[in-house]
Structure 1
Amino acid sequence: MYLGVTKPMIQLVLSAVLIFAFFHYAAKKQAMVPGKLQYVGEQGYNFVRNSLGRDILGSHDFMRFVPYLFALFFFILLNNLFASIPFLQFPTFSRSGMVYGLALLSWIIYNAVGIKKHGFGGYLKLQSVPAGVGGPILALLIPLEFLSNIIVRPVTLALRLFANMLAGHLLLILFALGGEYLLLHGATLVKPVGILAWLLFIAISFLEILIQFLQAYVFVLLNAMYIQSALADEH
């Protein structure tokens, strides 16, 4: 009986279990001289804490957001890397619904943070009215700022991750299956093209690993920037 469970759904759960298990065991024995597992865990935490937390949010506010940024980064990264892991070979976030769920969570968090600090009216003013601008031009700028900062942000945040993961996955399929077809069914003259397609498939596979990391980094970086913008006293 079909229960409506899909491969991306299973990968979401699997990634959460793997991430929790890894960092649980990495932090279990906190030695002064860390072992390999503890060292990798500490470096991963410090990377998010410093480059995505402190450097963006500032030393005053960053620590309370580090758990969210940390979990978000490794959750996205592992689900992206699933595209390059044999037998899985599917990027979870090439399904738009999965990405827009993350974008909605981000939207709720940074808006809630801004409203809590500035109040509802103060936050809307901060996000919609550019500082130091007055006069009739505000009639144009206020709707544009509101759309850009409140409405469009989660859409573009999700679209960037979704489009990159989907495009990379389709490109790998194109070169892998195209190369196989040319080698097995193509004429003798086009078989070298099939070999070239497979070589490109291997090269693009390594490039995709870099892109998978960068997309996780960019998604979390933008989250940190949106939180920082919501906390700032001026826009």
Structure 2
Amino acid sequence: MTVLAEFHAPAISEFFPGGVLFTGTPFELNRVGLVRLVGAIAIGLLLFLGTRKMKLVPGRFQSCMEMLWDFVRVGIAQDTMGKKNGEKFLPVIATIFFMVLGLNVTGFIPFLNISGASVIGVPLVLALVVYFTYHIAGIQAKGLGGYLKDSLILPGVPWPLHVLMIPIEFLTKFVIQPFTLTLRLLCNMIVGHLLLVLCFSATWFFFFDASMGFKVFGVVTILGGFFVTLLEILIAVLQAYIFALLAAVYINQAISDEH
């Protein structure tokens, strides 16, 4: 038996654990569901506490919440869509940003240790919210015929090329965009979780189960786990920003007069 015979690498099955509450009922919750619930409650609580008693001279906590809110309001919504449309669609953009950020952060919080966005349900629901929002907004702004024309027909393209371009634009706007939104968030969270589990489970193995000559590799894996944790923190924030930014871009494209 080799020294690594007892080591079991993390598997995709970790994202589909058995029920831990209300097992066998329509309300069954597994570990990922509980993490999502905890994450949602924490997000709501932080936003409530940060805006409950606003002061003219803010304290540190209020200042942090105001900076985060202004980042979403100005840096994402208004910079992408203009002040008027940015304010109009701010509730959707802000909800997406804070939800993605909060559920991503659970991936490196002790005792939670998995992102609430690492199973397809949350990324898919958020992608569908964006999908229906920008289509409905576009139809309201331009009418069904005008919206379809602006979405499918590229200005300045020779008419014979429209035979090729219209199907491509249709697939892009009506089929591919929700899938890319879903998969971008989902795959980043899955890969990050698997890397973290791999590093720290390997660290445990090398320190406590491997023979003496191999224990030194535990130092390498724990340093790797620390690096991956820092990388995951960056990715968690970046994915929330990208998801909210793309939502603003898609909505703006749908309601804008320019293609």
- Secondary structure in structure 2 of the residue aligned to 1:58: helix
Report if the CA contact (8 A) 1:127-1:150 is conserved: no
Counterpart residue number, 1:10 = 34
Could you tell me which amino acid in structure 2 is paired with residue 204 of structure 1?
V
Task: Provide the rounded CA distance (Å) in 2 between the counterparts of 1:116 and 1:11.
Answer: 37
Provide the TM-score with structure 1 as the length reference.
0.95
1:159 aligns with 2:183: yes
Aligned with 1:208 (options 232, 236, 250): 232
Report if the CA contact (8 A) 2:128-2:178 is conserved: yes
Task: Provide the rounded CA distance (Å) in 1 between the counterparts of 2:43 and 2:201.
Answer: 32
What's the offset of the Cα at 1:189? 2.6
1:133 aligns with 2:157: yes
Could you tell me which amino acid in structure 1 is paired with residue 63 of structure 2?
Y
- Secondary structure in structure 1 of the residue aligned to 2:156: coil
What's the offset of the Cα at 1:17? 2.3
Could you tell me which amino acid in structure 2 is paired with residue 222 of structure 1?
L
Ranges in structure 1 where 5+ consecutive residues have no aligned partner? none
Counterpart residue number, 1:104 = 128
- Deviations, residues 109-156 of structure 1 (Å, cap 9, x unaligned): 111101111111211111111111122111001000110111100000
1:20 aligns with 2:44: yes
Report if the CA contact (8 A) 2:137-2:255 is conserved: yes
Report if the CA contact (8 A) 2:81-2:252 is conserved: yes
Task: Provide the rounded CA distance (Å) in 1 between the counterparts of 2:194 and 2:126.
Answer: 22
What's the offset of the Cα at 1:57? 0.4
Task: Provide the rounded CA distance (Å) in 1 between the counterparts of 2:62 and 2:39.
Answer: 19
Counterpart residue number, 1:188 = 212
Provide the TM-score with structure 2 as the length reference.
0.87
CA RMSD of the aligned region, Å?
1.3
Aligned with 1:124 (options 117, 142, 148): 148
Displaced runs of 4 or more, over 6 A: none
1:74 aligns with 2:98: yes
What's the offset of the Cα at 1:85? 0.4
Q: Percent identity?
A: 35
Higher relative helix content:
1
- Secondary structure in structure 2 of the residue aligned to 1:166: helix
What's the offset of the Cα at 1:35? 1.4
Task: Provide the rounded CA distance (Å) in 2 between the counterparts of 1:21 and 1:176.
Answer: 31
Ranges in structure 2 where 5+ consecutive residues have no aligned partner? 1-21
- Deviations, residues 24-59 of structure 1 (Å, cap 9, x unaligned): 222222221111222122111101001111100012
Could you tell me which amino acid in structure 2 is paired with residue 164 of structure 1?
N
Counterpart residue number, 1:64 = 88
- Secondary structure in structure 2 of the residue aligned to 1:31: coil
Report if the CA contact (8 A) 1:131-1:234 is conserved: no
CA shift in 2, pair 1:184/1:13, >3 Å: closer
Counterpart residue number, 1:197 = 221
Could you tell me which amino acid in structure 2 is paired with residue 127 of structure 1?
S
Report if the CA contact (8 A) 1:57-1:228 is conserved: yes
Could you tell me which amino acid in structure 2 is paired with residue 206 of structure 1?
L
Q: How many residues align?
A: 235
1:222 aligns with 2:221: no
Aligned with 2:68 (options 38, 44, 49): 44
Could you tell me which amino acid in structure 2 is paired with residue 123 of structure 1?
Y
